[in-house]
Amino acid sequence: MTFALPQIAPLNEAMQAAARERQNNLTKPPGSLGRLEELSVQLAGILEQERPSVTRKAVIVMAGDHGVVAEGVSAYPAEVTPQMVMNFLYGGAAINALAGSAGARVVIVDMGVAADLPDHPQLVKRKVAYGTKNMAVGPAMTREQAEDALLAGIEVVSAEIENGLDLVAIGEMGIGNTTAATALTAVFTGLPIADLTGRGTGVDDAGLARKIQVIENALAVNKPDPNDAMDALMKVGGLEIAGLAGVVLGAAARRVPVVIDGFISSAAALVAAELAPAVKPYLIGSHESVEIGHQAILRRLGVRPLFNLDMRLGEGTGAALAFPIIEGAARVLDEMATFAEAGVAGG
């Protein structure tokens, strides 16, 4: 491959040990804050701080269209992709409300929307193509397009890191993108397509059967190589998925923790992890989606979600809801008194 993957280091074990030691001396029974304690140790190892702070937060939402919608795989028409991008820019979408509530900025990136979008101060224009091609009849992208999209993701998150960033979430918008995410999941896990295919934005039973058939066709036509993540990405992926895989790679390379969202966002993280397994310890799960393929991705990534709120929207909404939990975990480690400091008797 001509594309050079960034170098990703392991977590800092000394910082993790220091954080764990501090947790065991804080004024609570050891372990009684459960996963908050684990999160704080993970953050310490990623950010290389004994008492990490995660106040500067962003949700990077990437948008792209999918040629496969020609096969009738979605309940919504493709023009909803640019319409929702405009909704993001005007602050009317779920991710605007939830990121705002969590004190996080939202970065909207056009990776491959099949329409020209106006200039807007919050819109990052990295369009690689006007949508992917129809994977049911041939590769969704060229290899060069997939590499360009990955690189764009690395550059977008690098620019955000320059602006100040302790924690990043990845979200997406793209009518048809559960089809691409399902195809990628099937390739990397080897599980039956029917066991991984959900209703996306809400197809009926006939639509679901058609979607499964379309993905089967796409894999039969393209024969993506499960041992070559770039091959799978270009053949059955999406431009926003490739961009988000780049965000994961770029964030991990710069030691910024990445909060993954639902099915599509996690499929992007899976692509990144297949390209560079060293990204895995930089990932933080947020919710478990209604989309049935999500669990298979989380298992393969070794990521345990924090909650299941029966959500299936995407956009980074579940990840934004996890921000306060992750920030709370960091604040516990930083702000709590030790038994000695507080004059409290130990167990």
Query: Closest distance between its own copies and the C-beta of residue 3, in Å?
Result: 34
Task: List residues near its own copies by CB under 8 A.
Answer: 26-30, 32-36, 75-77, 79-80, 83-84, 86-87, 90-94, 96-98, 100-102, 201-202, 290, 306-313, 317, 320-321, 323-325, 327-328, 331-332, 334-337, 341-347
To the nearest whole angstrom, how small is the minimum distance from the Cβ of residue 97 to its own copies?
A: 4
Cα angle 178, 1, 113 (rounded to 5 degrees) comes to: 35
State the amino acid at position 198 in one-letter form: G
Pick the closer one to its own copies by CB: 201 or 213: 201
d(CA 280, CA 275): 11
164: left (phi > 0), else alpha (psi -120 to 50), else beta?
left
CB of 333 to its own copies, least distance (A): 9
Look at the alpha carbons of 173, 175, 179, 184 in this order and tell me if their dihedral is positive or negative. Answer: negative
The nearer residue to its own copies, 5 or 325, going by C-beta atoms, is: 325
Contact 281, 39 (CB under 8 A): no
Q: Say which DSSP state 257 is in.
A: -
Please name which of 244, 241, 100 lies closest in space to residue 169, comparing C-alpha atoms. 244
DSSP-assigned letter for residue 26: B
Decide whether 134 or 317 has the Cβ nearer to its own copies: 317
Q: What does the buried/exposed string (b/e) look like for 197-208 if buried means 16 or more CB atoms within 10 Å of the residue's CB? A: bbbbeebeeebb
User: Could you tell me the smallest distance in angstroms from the CB atom of residue 263 to its own copies?
Assistant: 12
Residue with smaller CB distance to its own copies, 49 or 222:
49
Least Å from the CB of residue 250 to its own copies:
27
**Which residue lies nearer to its own copies by CB, 18 or 332?**
332
Q: How many residues does the chain have?
A: 347
315 is catalytic: yes
Catalytic residue among 147, 160, 288, 315: 315
Q: Name the phi and psi angles at 332, rounded to 5.
A: -55, -50
Q: How far is the CB of 182 from its own copies (least distance, A)?
A: 17
* Distance (Å, whole) CA 89 – CA 299: 34
Minimum distance, C-beta of residue 337 to its own copies, in the bound complex (Å): 3
**Gap between the Cα atoms of 156 and 185, Å rounded:** 25
Given the complex with its own copies, which of 35 and 299 has the nearer CB atom? 35
Which letter, b or e, does each residue of 75-95 get, where b requires 16 or more Cβ atoms within 10 Å of its Cβ? ebebebbbebbbbbbeeebbb
Cβ-based nearer residue to its own copies, 267 or 321: 321
CA-to-CA distance for 65 and 299, rounded, in angstroms? 27
Which positions are annotated as active-site residues? Answer: 315
